[in-house]
Structure 1
Amino acid sequence: MYSVEIYGRIRRAVLVEGKSERAVAREFGVARETVRKMLRYAVPPGYRRKEPPKRPKLGPWLGVIDAILEDDKNHPKKQRHTAKRIFERLRAEHAYTGGYTIVKDYVRAATLRCREMFVPLTHAAGTAQADFGEALVLVGGEERKAHYFAIDLPHSDDCFVRAFPAETTEAFLEGHVQAFAYFGGVPTTILYDNTKLAVARILGDGTRQKTRAFSELQSHYLFAEKFGRPAKGNDKGKVEGLDV
Structure 2
Amino acid sequence: MLAMSEINCIKVLRNQKSLSVNKIAKTLKINWRTAKKYADGEQIPHESNKKKKGMMYEEKWGQIVSDWLAEDQKLKKKERRTNKTIFKQLKEMGFPGSYRTVCYFIADWKNRKEQLEEEKDKNYERLQHPPGEAQVDFGLTEAVKDGKYIDAHCLLMTLPYSNAAFCIPLPGENQECFLYGLKTIFKQLGGVPRKIRIDNLKAAVIKPRRRNEETVFTDEFLQFANYYGFEPQACNSRSGHEKSNVENRVGYVRYNFVTPAPVVEGLEDLAKILEKKLIEDRERMHYQKKRPIKDFRYAEYFFN
Structure with more helix by fraction: 2
Q: Which has the larger radius of gyration?
A: 2
- Compute the TM-score of the two structures, normalised by the length of structure 2: 0.38
